[in-house]
Amino acid sequence: MPNTSFKELLAPWFDGAPEQRITGLALDNRQIQQGDVFIAVQGHSLDARRFIADAIRAGAVAVISDDGDTSGQFGLTLHDNVPVVAFPHLKSSLSDIAARFYQAPSKHMTTIGVTGTNGKTTVSQLIAQWIDLMQGRAAVMGTTGNGFLDALEPALNTTGSALDIQQQLAAFNVAGATHVAMEVSSHGLIQDRVKAVDFDAAIFTNLSRDHLDYHGTMEAYAEAKLRLFTHYGSPVSVINADDDVGAQWLGSMPEAIAVSMSEEGVVSHQGRKLWLTAVSYATSGVTIAFSSDWGDGEFTAPLVGEFNVMNLLLSLTTLLGLGYEKSALLDVAPQLQAVIGRMEVFHRADKPMLVVDYAHTPDALEKALTALRRHCEGALWCIFGCGGDRDTGKRPMMASIAETLADKAILTDDNPRSESPDIIVSDMLAGMAAPDNAIVLHDRADACRYAFEHAAPSDVILVAGKGHEDYQVLASGTIDYSDRDTVRMLLEGEQ
């Protein structure tokens, strides 16, 4: 546990804090332990300054209070003999404060940031797997959890709070991590949650419609992602050159490494590059050949789908950029595994192949269906829904994609939250040319069972939207539910 004083913590910003020993930081007064500093932020919907007295009663020995970003001046007052420092523009300094308290843990490990709409989880976990296979010890932070791959702890958000991130990085450092692969969301970037993280490598996977309820426009969304490459000085930047936004960025990023599914995609880039030269698809995985500034190579990995080829190439390129030997990386590639809930295949002899994927955006659904068509000898089924209280514009788009690319479309509930499932499905059906051909089954388990019972052994069933999640959010509350468990039980005859 860090051993410092309130004065030492605030020294870069304010020299008037007392020499009070402190043992922890907390943003929530309900999580205060004796000896903690309570950081009272004025949020959009909640002003934590209202709970300063509660935090002190709970054991806080010092308080950093948001000054509302109005005065621009630091100040020191006492509340029940506890020092309270008014801190201007506090939210933008949280990451720096936490990094100082936890002694800048990201500087003691190789820290890799992955941003983009889709592929963040797969790329971060492929990198971690590859590093582990190369005798390193890698941790991950992201959607499916935080921790070492054999012991992931659930995460509330893709990118946690500024305090959570530094605390987690410090824990990884203490546990002996050599590397951390972190998913970095647009929210985390725009809100400065990773401001004090020292990134050794940054990766851009792609950009497609998502989070417009927060960012407003695709331009603002792209600008948020770009911050990972413009604000952190990462020595290794890896960009998907096949993405329109990535290609645009590469025009002004000659130091970045461009990655493409073809030589044409990188031919104009002046910096380092890696591109696909051949690929073959089988139910057991993919075989990839490539050329690069590190030479040519070929490897096989047990992942399915074209977009996983790009995920593999981005991961490989990052590790090459960080100095790993190409031949050693290729030798262990066959030992890589699919990430849970990310194009995860469930199959038994003489049964339809079921694939669980997290695809919950139009682009991700299109990529998943296009990828599975290569592996499908019979009919391609698509089971999907759209979340409630979220971007309504993608509902008809996703339904149109399912109707166009799948042979059978089943509309079901995702996380309806407070919205009426019937209204959500109605919005989806509006995007279909022949809505009467769609099957509507609100219960996800029923939807999976229907497809499984009506599909031929040569068919492929994509169960899209929830991936690794083991819950469903309804208006009445959160319930236990897992697509992965459902399809596993169907294959094992436990219906």
**pLDDT digit string, tens, across residues 54-111:** 999 999 999 999 987 666 789 999 999 999 999 998 999 999 999 999 999 999 999 9
pLDDT, residue 211, reads 47
**121 annotated as ligand-binding:** yes
Q: Is 300 annotated as a binding residue?
A: no
Most confident of 185-199, 288-302, 368-382: 288-302
**120 assigned binding-site residue:** yes
Question: Which one has a higher pLDDT value, 361 or 439?
Answer: 439
What's residue 154's pLDDT?
A: 85
Asked whether residue 27 is marked as a ligand-binding residue, the answer is yes
193 is in an annotated binding site: yes
The answer to whether 49 is a known ligand-binding residue is no
Taking only the tens place, the pLDDT of each residue in 162-180 is 999 999 999 999 999 999 9
pLDDT at residue 283, as a whole number: 72
Q: Is 370 annotated as a binding residue?
A: no
Closest CA to 284 of 306, 304, 259: 304
Q: For residue 141, what pLDDT is reported?
A: 96
Per the annotation, does 116 bind a ligand? yes
Residue 201 has pLDDT above 70, yes or no: yes
Which residues 6+ apart lie within 8 Å of 42 measured at CB?
A: 48, 49, 66, 68, 90
Residue 27 confidence (pLDDT): 95
Residues 270-287 have a mean pLDDT of 92
pLDDT, tens digit (0-9, with 9 covering 90-100), for 308-353: 999 999 999 999 999 999 999 999 999 999 998 989 989 898 999 9
Q: Is 147 annotated as a binding residue?
A: no
Mean pLDDT in residue range 28-53: 94
Cβ within 8 Å of residue 144, ≥6 positions away: 121, 125, 152, 155, 339, 340, 341, 468
Report whether 465 belongs to an annotated binding site. yes
- pLDDT surpassing 60 at residue 212: no
Fold of 344-491: Protein-Tyrosine Phosphatase; Chain A (3.90.190)
By the 10 Å C-beta count (0-12 exposed, 13-18 middle, 19+ buried), 279 is classed as: middle
Average pLDDT value for the chain: 93
> Does position 404 have pLDDT exceeding 90, yes or no?
yes
pLDDT at 436 over 50: yes
CATH match of 103-335 with 3.40.1190.10: yes
Is 392 annotated as a binding-site member?
A: no
- Asked if residue 118 has pLDDT above 90, the reply is no
Task: Give the domain ranges of the chain.
Answer: 4-89, 103-335, 344-491
Given a cut of 60, whether residue 495 has pLDDT beyond it is no
Q: Is 158 annotated as a binding residue?
A: yes
For the purposes of burial, counting CB atoms within 10 Å of the CB of 3, is it exposed (0-12), middle (13-18) or buried (19 or more)? exposed
Establish whether 144 is an annotated binding residue.
no
User: Is 414 marked as a binding-site residue?
Assistant: yes
Query: With 50 as the cut, is the pLDDT of residue 3 above it?
Result: yes
159 assigned ligand-binding residue: yes
Q: What percentage of the chain exceeds 90 in pLDDT?
A: 81
**What single letter denotes the amino acid at residue 476?**
S
478, 398 contact by CB (below 8 A): no
The response to whether 126 counts as a known ligand-binding position is no
The predicted pLDDT at position 158 comes to 66
Work out the average pLDDT over 281-301. Answer: 93
Task: Check the annotation: does 146 bind a ligand.
Answer: no
Whole-prediction pTM:
0.83
35 appears as a binding residue in the annotation: no
Is the CATH number of domain 4-89 3.60.10.10?
Answer: no
283 annotated to a ligand binding site:
no
Q: Which of 22-36, 218-232, 282-296, 395-409 is predicted with the least confidence, judged by mean pLDDT?
A: 218-232
226 is in an annotated binding site: no
pLDDT at 473 over 70: yes
**Is 137 marked within a binding site?**
no
